[in-house]
Structure 1
Amino acid sequence: MNSKQQKAQAISSSMEIPGRKMEFEFELDDIPKYWYGDDVFKSTFMNALSCLFPEGERMFMDAVRDHQHKISDPQLLQQIKGFIKQEAIHGHEHAQYNDFLKKWNYPIDKIMSFEKKEKIWMKKWLPRKHRLAITCALEHFTAIMAHQILTNPESTEGMHPQFKEMWRWHAVEETEHKAVAYDVYQQAVGSYWLRVITMINITVLFCLRTSIIQAIFLWKDGQLFNPKVWWKGFQFYFLKPGLVPTIFRDYLDYFRRDFHPWDHDNRELLGKWEEEQQKYKIV
């Protein structure tokens, strides 16, 4: 293990991962349909992401829990408990968020039913180590996107305050526990090729799944074939805030053999966020 790897592992081992019971009280009448800067594309994109979380978080918890018996490090075992707490709360909060979306006649129940059936199929047919590799890949996606939410003002510019608060909280906790599944994978599985091949597959499937759900929302809104909406989408992905170019280098880091999530030390963002918060408690 080189000095860079040692530093990243030391940071990872030092992380405390608390479970916070948040109190997001959505005032339904105060939130507009296009709550993200009155932008159809950005609002439906974030709504589509939210639909992936409840069942996705359950899969993450199961994947890590299934390998817990192979872990002897007491600090990592404690972090696993914190990871499971945080992911459970994320799933709960996003389920409430998704229920809120029914207000605009989006077929949330059908989408969530499909997500649930897919995760049941995955648990039945995919080996445990593959599901853990999937978890690591998706945790990397959420970590690098979370960093943008916390550091790039353009990424949250125009968000309704109630949703902005929720997404920033989620970003903080994804940053806190970004290495847990990876550390479990390295100790319990360790295969470099399974890790990177899974990331290639998940990159395609994650983008496809998000786009399909977003297309359903746009179709329901009569906006699917509106060229102005897709121009806004191009700007969102490549110009402002430029999601793809801003995360691409961090995304590629995952393919290094010596990669570790804490190679990118952004712990200062966690302390800054906690100083701002008065509405959470540790559970």
Structure 2
Amino acid sequence: MNASTKTPHPEAGGIVVRAIPFSFDEGIEPVWHPERPEWSHMANGASLTMPYLEPFLIKTVREALKNASNKQLKDDVHGFMAQEGNHFQNHRRYNEILKRHYPELTDVEDEMTAQYKKFQTKSLRWRLAYTAGFETMTMGMTEWLIEERRDLFKNADPSVSSLILWHMVEETEHKNVAYDLYQDLYGSYWPRTWGLIFGSFHVAWCSRKGYIRMLKRDGLWNKASSRMRLWYMVARFLIKASPAMLRSLIPGYHPSKVNDPNWVSRWASAYADLPEDIIPLLDTEDPDIPAQFAR
């Protein structure tokens, strides 16, 4: 498959839209990190939510865009929608493979379809607060995944690892957009706080429903050793993500004040230099998981 048509590097202005068609071998193992089956399924559960969560976010910001007052913000919202659209399309391709191994995942998808349909009936302020809140939580997730990439992705399947880390790079690039759009239209502190808490935990709960079903099918859910490893991974995530959520509650907070991991800019620079017919696959056999791509 061919990679996307290149658009300007973020430093040149604007949000880069990379329509990267990640390809997944039909025989790919759902436990894409052989040494960490519980972590593999935690990530699989998160992937399952993306084709339901991200279209909801896109619809919300598209509706809010009509009332935005700042031209740069409007341009950034268009970049946000394009990046999120590319994300869920790639996750959907991967999820279709997962469902061949775990057909019971369709039950989780049906629940999410109903929930997001119900959410769509709520006020724009509620939906935009959910969007801004969830996007805030992803900053902590990005820090965790990138800072601990050596442990989380070493010797793992490069296509899944590269998909996840590309997604996190772009979450960093558009980290200000949903927050700025909410502030531009509403700016109320407490609804945004509720959106942060509810949005973050709702997506985590949906992810949990997915990975529980996969762990049960694999015969791991009722094993004490597996449950302990799972709790350990959940605790690691919460320890890293919680500070990102808490700092967003400080008066005067803005996502732009948070320093991005250096690995993000290195990945973007490496991608900008990549031939257009190459999908940006990371070398997971390299212990450092560097921001450069296997040829």
CA 1:219 to 1:178, structure 2 compared with 1: closer, same or farther past 3 Å? same
Q: Please tell me whether the aligned partners of residues 140 and 243 of structure 2 are also in contact (alpha carbons under 8 angstroms).
A: no
Q: Which runs of 5+ in 1 are unaligned?
A: 1-11
CA 1:48 to 1:279, structure 2 compared with 1: closer, same or farther past 3 Å? farther
Q: Which runs of 5+ in 2 are unaligned?
A: 1-9, 278-295
Separation of aligned partners in 1, 2:12 and 2:77: 13
Shift of residue 57, structure 1, vs aligned partner: 0.5
Which structure has the higher relative contact order (CA within 8 Å, separation 6+)?
1
Shift of residue 134, structure 1, vs aligned partner: 0.4
Quote the residue 1:59 is aligned against.
56
Provide the alpha-carbon RMSD of the alignment: 2.2
C-alpha distance after superposition, 1:7-46 (max 9, x if no partner)? xxxxx999621211113111232x3231124322111111
Q: Which has the higher helix share?
A: 1
Quote the residue 1:19 is aligned against.
17
C-alpha distance after superposition, 1:194-250 (max 9, x if no partner)? 111232333443333222221122222222211111111133234xxx222223222
Separation of aligned partners in 1, 2:79 and 2:96: 26
Q: Please tell me whether the aligned partners of residues 23 and 279 of structure 1 are also in contact (alpha carbons under 8 angstroms).
A: no
Q: Please tell me whether the aligned partners of residues 178 and 261 of structure 1 are also in contact (alpha carbons under 8 angstroms).
A: yes
Match of 2:85 among 88, 93, 101: 88
CA 1:97 to 1:104, structure 2 compared with 1: closer, same or farther past 3 Å? same
Q: Please tell me whether the aligned partners of residues 143 and 240 of structure 2 are also in contact (alpha carbons under 8 angstroms).
A: no
Separation of aligned partners in 2, 1:138 and 1:268: 23
Quote the residue 2:269 is aligned against.
275
CA 1:199 to 1:108, structure 2 compared with 1: closer, same or farther past 3 Å? same
Separation of aligned partners in 2, 1:111 and 1:199: 22
Quote the residue 1:193 is aligned against.
190
Partner of 2:120: helix, strand, or coil?
Answer: helix
The worse-fitting range, judged by mean Cα deviation, of 43-52 and 96-105 is 96-105
**Residue 69 (1) aligns with residue 66 (2):** yes
C-alpha distance after superposition, 1:176-205 (max 9, x if no partner)? 001101000001011001111232333443
Match of 1:148 among 144, 169, 177: 144
Task: Compute the TM-score of the two structures, normalised by the length of structure 1.
Answer: 0.86
Quote the residue 1:28 is aligned against.
26
Quote the residue 2:244 is aligned against.
250
CA 1:91 to 1:221, structure 2 compared with 1: closer, same or farther past 3 Å? same
Q: Please tell me whether the aligned partners of residues 45 and 211 of structure 2 are also in contact (alpha carbons under 8 angstroms).
A: yes
The worse-fitting range, judged by mean Cα deviation, of 245-254 and 136-145 is 245-254
Q: Please tell me whether the aligned partners of residues 140 and 240 of structure 2 are also in contact (alpha carbons under 8 angstroms).
A: no
Q: Please tell me whether the aligned partners of residues 39 and 230 of structure 2 are also in contact (alpha carbons under 8 angstroms).
A: yes
CA 1:61 to 1:216, structure 2 compared with 1: closer, same or farther past 3 Å? same
CA 1:82 to 1:280, structure 2 compared with 1: closer, same or farther past 3 Å? farther
Quote the residue 1:137 is aligned against.
133
The worse-fitting range, judged by mean Cα deviation, of 115-124 and 32-41 is 32-41
CA 1:262 to 1:175, structure 2 compared with 1: closer, same or farther past 3 Å? same
Match of 1:235 among 222, 232, 238: 232
Quote the residue 2:287 is aligned against.
none
C-alpha distance after superposition, 1:55-105 (max 9, x if no partner)? 110111111111112212111111111111011111111111100102313
Task: Compute the TM-score of the two structures, normalised by the length of structure 2.
Answer: 0.83
Partner of 1:70: helix, strand, or coil?
Answer: coil
